A and B are shown apart, each in its own frame.
Chain A
């Protein structure tokens, strides 16, 4: 077996507030191999974003270790940054900057020479159907177009690991399906490992090879979608999820 591209052990993060200490992430273990799509599920406040931000070098962990894209997160954060793409749960765009310029600048921030940054921007724009929008300020994009741009920015450096934090929240069904295709294509063409968080169980079922369910900062279940369903005798991932997070008894299984 090839060594995992993503290997997280005992990752923890606490926030100290005046009102007390928040244990946002209480010791999470994750692994993912090359080209694997790992779905992270969990209710609001479970610690998904905090985990992703730690793995993207944006938040120092309170404890634990992680290897991301073959580099040690704590010892070589610069090495990690060069090999990942990070698409935040929301935002990250300069509202007045034209789409084309955001793409080229992102390439320059990844230390591509100017000509190469331009070529890469053009390539991604064509690939993600942004080429008619290059001169438009990002504030004038629709939700789906904006998401495509944010993902394009995350792909500029052909990352080994792509972090997508709730990539399809707020998108219409067509745009969501588009995005699933895109994620599959990135994996197929480049062997990119994708870690995506989502609240949509159909998305997790359709897209992820393996799922991790977190609740209150800890992993409470792990397996392929089929395994999770079997383990809980559930017909749908929705039922399995509710059983896992202990919200099955009084909550109706439909939304």
Chain B
């Protein structure tokens, strides 16, 4: 256990330095949610999204989940490249704990996405967001859990596909319907009945609804608890699935 923690720390450090070196990755990951914030947020400022509270209190949580979704889902591309140039093999031929290359990278992603989420919230405040501080902080827990789940699965998938285009095709196909159905940009409170029902099949729906409630200062209602249960459940699935997929890739050439 101790070994696993130390080894995960080693891989985390290595991955974090990689991230800090590539300034482009950092800015590009942030760019999309920032553009939405700056160019779409103001459009909604006087629209009633029927979530209670201001439109910013509904819109910013959606952008946070979107950041986590887009940021988490595509991290696999990085490990795919490392796998192809032999870095993963080099790691696997050392006594490093077999799960550490996965966990260390995913931890880096969680830290990166939570930091980016914090920046996004600060900018939101500049635009006019007002929300209770406790709710905002709890919101980051959801962002962290969701990012972990997606990053772990993304790495697991990337280790088991042959090429980067194959991976991108799968991730791209998955991401758009999930994003739209979860009601990230516009909440499902505006949706007709059938769409609202369909969206309940998408787990991120519960995450974003919970964060919206947190931003309204409602900490203990059913929506928040359901959202926490679903998001934490996703993290567990991501962990088990990611580990299984990562282990599997060690047995296949």
Whether, in the assembled complex, B193 has its beta carbon less than 8 Å from a beta carbon of chain A, the answer is no
Flag whether A110 is at the interface (Cβ < 8 A): yes
Residue of chain B at shortest CB distance from A91? B86
Given known contacts A92-B85, A105-B10, A15 and B253 CB-to-CB distance under 8 angstroms: yes
Within 8 Å of chain A (Cβ to Cβ): is B6?
yes
What 0/1 pattern do residues 149 to 169 of A give for CB contact below 8 A with B? 000010001000000000000
Please state if B85 and A95 are interface contacts (CB–CB under 8 Å).
yes
Flag the segment in A1-9, A54-62, A244-252 that touches B. Answer: A54-62
Q: Is A86 an interface residue (CB 8 A)?
A: yes
Interface assignment of B22: CB less than 8 Å from any CB of chain A: yes
Q: Which of B86, B91, B93 contacts A84 (CB 8 A)?
A: B93
CB contacts (< 8 Å) of A86 on chain B: these are 89-90, 93
Contact A109 B253, CB 8 Å, known A90-B86, A92-B87: no
Verify if B17 is at the interface (C-beta below 8 Å from A).
yes
Q: Is B48 interfacial (CB-CB < 8 Å)?
A: no
Residues of B with C-beta under 8 A to A109: 7, 10, 91, 94-96
A-B CB contact pairs (8 Å), 29 listed: A15-B253, A60-B251, A84-B93, A88-B89, A88-B90, A91-B85, A91-B87, A92-B85, A92-B89, A92-B90, A93-B85, A94-B85, A96-B21, A97-B18, A97-B21, A101-B17, A105-B13, A105-B14, A106-B90, A106-B94, A108-B10, A108-B13, A109-B10, A109-B91, A109-B95, A111-B7, A111-B95, A153-B90, A157-B94
Q: Which residue of chain B lies nearest to A81 when distances are taken between CB atoms in the complex?
A: B95
Inter-chain pairs besides A15-B253, A56-B93, 9 sampled, C-beta below 8 Å: A58-B250, A78-B95, A81-B93, A81-B94, A93-B85, A94-B82, A109-B94, A110-B95, A111-B95
User: Which of chain A's residues 77-132 have a Cβ closer than 8 Å to chain B?
Assistant: 78, 81-82, 84, 86, 88, 90-97, 101, 105-106, 108-111
B92 lies within 8 A of chain A by Cβ: yes
Q: Do B95 and A82 touch across chains, with their CB atoms under 8 A apart?
A: yes
- As a 0/1 sequence over residues 36 to 76 of chain A, the CB contacts with chain B under 8 angstroms (1 = contact) are 00000000000000000100111110000000000000000
Question: Is chain A's interface secondary structure helix, strand, loop, or mixed overall?
Answer: loop
User: In the docked arrangement, what's the CA distance between A43 and B89, Å?
Assistant: 24
B89, A58: Cβ atoms closer than 8 Å: yes
In the complex, chain A residues whose CB is within 8 Å of the CB of B95: 78, 81-82, 109-111
Q: How far is the CA of A97 from the CA of B85 in the complex (A)?
A: 13
Residues of A with C-beta under 8 A to B86: 88, 90-93
Provide the residues of chain B in CB contact with A91, threshold 8 Å. Answer: 85-87
Chain B residue nearest in CB terms to A83? B95
Instruction: Place the interface of chain B in its size category.
Output: 20 to 34
Q: Which residues of A contact B (CB under 8 A)?
A: 15, 53, 56-60, 78, 81-82, 84, 86, 88, 90-97, 101, 105-106, 108-111, 153, 157
Using an 8 Å CB-CB cutoff, how does the interface string of B87-108 with A read, 1 for contact, 0 for none?
A: 1011111111000000000000
- Nearest 5 pairs between A and B by C-beta? A91-B86, A92-B86, A86-B93, A92-B90, A109-B94
* CB nearest to A86 among chain B residues: B93
* B62-88 interface code vs A (CB 8 A; 1 in, 0 out): 000000000000000000001001110
The answer to whether A96 touches B18 (Cβ under 8 A) is yes
Q: Return the chain A residue nearest B10 by Cβ.
A: A108
Shortest Cβ distance from residue B92 to the other chain A in the assembled complex, whole angstroms: 6
Q: How far is the CA of A91 from the CA of B92 in the complex (A)?
A: 14
Chain A contacts for B92, CB-based, 8 A: 57-58, 81
Given A15-B253, A109-B10, decide whether A94 and B93 contact each other with a Cβ distance below 8 A. Answer: no
A110 CB, nearest partner CB in chain B, Å:
6
Return chain A residues, CB-CB under 8 Å to B91.
Answer: 109
Report which of A78, A93, A101 forms a contact with B87, defined as CB distance below 8 A: A93
Name the residue on A nearest B91 (C-beta): A109
Rounded to whole angstroms, the CA-CA distance of A93 and B94 in the bound complex is 14
Report the bound CA distance from A157 to B94 in whole Å: 9
Q: Is there contact, CB below 8 Å, between B253 and A59?
A: yes
